Each structure stands twice: as structure tokens, then as C-alpha cells.
A = this chain, B = another copy of it.
Amino acid sequence: MKNHGIAVHGGAGTILKSAMTPQKEKDYMDAIEDALVTGDKILSLGGTSLDAVEAAVKYMEDFPLFNAGRGSVFTHDGKHEMDACIMNGKDLTAGSIAGVKNIRNPIQLARAVMEKSEHVFLANSGAVAFAKEQNIPIEPDEYFFTQQRYDQYKAAKNTDQIVLDHTPVSVIEGKKFGTVGAVALDQNGNIAAATSTGGMTNKRWGRIGDSPIVGAGTYANNKTCGISCTGYGEFFIRAVVAYDISCLMEYKNLSLKQACDFVVQNKLVKMGGEGGLIAIDFNGNIEMPFNSEGMYRGMKKSNTPLYIDIYKD
């Protein structure tokens, strides 16, 4: 039986211990742990990495503290527009959605796009129409209302700022790139990756970030690795971050760690691209590099205990 493993993230950014309350810290750590346990249980029982990453991301989408699903930030129009992507490293199939409203679990819709449509990427009202055909759960606007996000939105709108999940009205959060994601390797050696996000507070113009873009924010390939990113999406798109790591492994024979370090700590830093990612390779090695102050993250390998952290070393 091969090693299996899972890693999850809940966003990266300026997350300072000095600005966090013990309760808030515990809430985040508990949520990361629960997402990991949810995915690990599937893997331990011989389930697929695809099921594990979907379940872990779904858990985080349902948890209001993360900027994805229920906890998604408000757009400029006071709505919630969500993006997500899931990819199967076994056959390189993928499903992406962007700009969808009222979908309870965007990652579930992304998986339906992958498995039930002939397309890879569906957007906006068209994607929601597809969701309805597929009986994907829809929720009213109220479901996505959280006071914290609304306060962020009002503050951002008043100053006409487009902010990346920044919390100007609160001391407990700094600049934070709100996204959730999971990567996993199952007992059959199959890798999967999933990413889901509510985007940026006060965003306009139907902005799409890196999360739903295969190769940018999300990628999985059994030959190399599975990647889910979180950060300043525009830079991650331009640097094709997730596929870059895969190519550095496949074409330049770098290890997962070497590839991750080079892209996150060198290339992205030079461009000015703040953020991080989680990565798992075909041997079950896991890396969780970031160049920001912190990243909500955790991992569970079949042969090691749970590891969960928020800050730098």
C-alpha cells in the first residue's frame, strides 16, 4: 500500500500573531484540522484523492471564516461571486467555474463541470444555469451574509478601494488573500487538487483571479504534483505558477521542494507576487511555501501526525 497524504490552506497574507485573539486563532486551527481529518478519513479508507480534496474544500467553504463559499466577501455590487477549480492528476481532466452566485459549494459545481459537461470552464449566469440542471445546491443571498465581510465591504466601498480580503475595520486581519484549497495523493498514486475563493472585497468588472485557472492557481498531474495557490492572483496568472512547478519537476528534474522554493521565494518575489501554495508530489512529499507573513495551512501524511500552522516558522 502506498503512502497517502493531504494538505489544505485557508489563504495567505499579512496574518500577524500580534493581531490575532486566542479564540480566533483556535477557530482557524480547528477548521483546518477538521478539513484535514475529513479528507484524511477518505484517503485512509482507500478513497480517491479527488473525493478527499472535494470534501476538504467543501468543509472550508461551509465555514464562514474563510473567504470561499459561505464566507465569501462582497463584490462592489454587494453580491458574492465565487470561483473554483478541481483537477484530476490521473487523466488531466479539470472543471472550473468563475463569477457564480448563490452556489452553496462552488467546488462541487467545478467537479460537475469536469464530470458532467463537455467543457472545462464555465462562467457567471451560464455556470449557474448548468448548476441548476445538475441539481447542485443553491442558497439565497442571506446564506452568504456574514457581519465581518459586510463591515469589510462597507469600509472598502466608502473608501472606493478594491481590497484583497483586507479588513480595514478590524485589527485581527491584515492584508489577506482569501482562498481555500486542498491537494492529495491517494493509495492508488492518484493526485488531485482543488481551489475555491470568494475573490476580493469590493471587486468590480467581473474580475477573475488565478484560482479557477488550470495551470495558474490549480494543477494536478500524477507524473509530478498537485498544487493549490493563494495570493495576489494577477501575479499567479502571469507566472502560470502551478504548472510552472510541475514543469520544473518534469523538465528540469527539480524536487518538489526545489521547484516550490524557486517559484514562490524567487520568481514570485521578483515580480512582486505575494502569496503561497500547498503542493504534494507522487511520493507523498508535501510542501507549503509562502512569501507572505502567514498562511493558514495544515497537512496529514499517512505516516506522520497532523501538522497545522498559521505563521512563519
- Whether A216 sits at the interface, judged by CB under 8 Å, is yes
Do A205 and B243 touch (CB < 8 A)? no
Given A98-B208, A204-B126: A240 touches B238 (CB 8 Å cut-off):
no
Residues of B within 8 A of A130 (CB): 204-205
* C-alpha spacing A251/B240, complex, angstroms: 15
Least Cβ distance of A30 to chain B in Å?
A: 34
How many residues on the A side are at the interface (Cβ–Cβ under 8 A)? Answer: 44
Does A123 interact with chain B (Cβ within 8 Å)? yes
Name the distance in Å between A132's Cβ and chain B's nearest Cβ: 11
In the complex, which residues of chain B have a beta carbon less than 8 angstroms from the beta carbon of A234?
118-120
Interfacial chain B residues near A285, Cβ < 8 Å: none
List, in ascending order, chain B residues with CB within 8 A of A240's CB: 214-215, 219, 240, 243
A-B residue pairs in contact (CB < 8 Å), sample of 8: A92-B239, A94-B237, A119-B234, A122-B205, A123-B208, A125-B206, A130-B205, A251-B251
Given A122-B205, A127-B206, A243-B244, 4 new contacts (CB under 8 A): A118-B162, A120-B234, A124-B124, A126-B207
Residues on A facing B (Cβ under 8 Å) = 92-94, 96, 98-99, 117-127, 129-130, 162, 204-209, 213-216, 219, 233-234, 237-240, 243-244, 247-248, 251-252, 271
